[in-house]
């Protein structure tokens, strides 16, 4: 299944957690938007469960938009750059 997921998370720590969960399932396409393509039912269920546990339902919001195979090919983008992942990974040398 193909799902566009948007989120509105008020607190930085939770927003970062949501971002990292979504990053492991899909492509970051705008500030609070991910495209998750070719998810199995099991992957979607696990993703939804993880997201549900990470939010405060009375404050935060996550929306799921399902795209059929035909609709996926009709997604259009005008202007703007793809967002850059600013995650920094530090490599350590084996030499210590």
Cα distances (Å, whole numbers) of residue 13 to 16, 17, 51, 82, 92? 5, 6, 14, 23, 26
Phi, psi dihedrals of residue 11, rounded to the nearest 5°? -110, 135
Read off the pLDDT of residues 61-85 as tens digits, 9 standing for 90 and up: 999 999 887 776 777 777 776 666 5
Q: Residue 88 — pLDDT band, cuts 50, 70, 90?
A: very low
User: What fold, for 2-72?
Assistant: Alpha-Beta Plaits (3.30.70)
Half-sphere exposure of residue 60, counting CA atoms within 13 Å on the CB side?
Answer: 21
Read off the pLDDT of residues 34-51 as tens digits, 9 standing for 90 and up: 999 999 999 999 999 999
pTM, 2 dp: 0.77
CB contact at 8 A, 21 and 28: no
* Domain residue ranges of the chain, discontinuous segments joined by +: 2-72
Question: Any binding-site annotation on 12?
Answer: no
């Amino acid at each position: 299944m193909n799902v566009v997921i948007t989120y509105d998370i008020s607190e930085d720590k939770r927003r970062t957690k949501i971002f990292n969960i979504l990053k492991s399932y899909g492509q970051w396409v705008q500030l609070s938007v991910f495209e998750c393509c070719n998810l199995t039912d099991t992957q979607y269920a696990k993703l939804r469960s993880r997201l549900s546990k990470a939010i405060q339902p009375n404050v935060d919001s996550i929306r799921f938009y399902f795209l059929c195979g035909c609709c996926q090919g009709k997604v259009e983008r005008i202007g703007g750059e793809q967002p850059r992942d600013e995650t920094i990974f530090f490599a350590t040398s084996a030499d210590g």
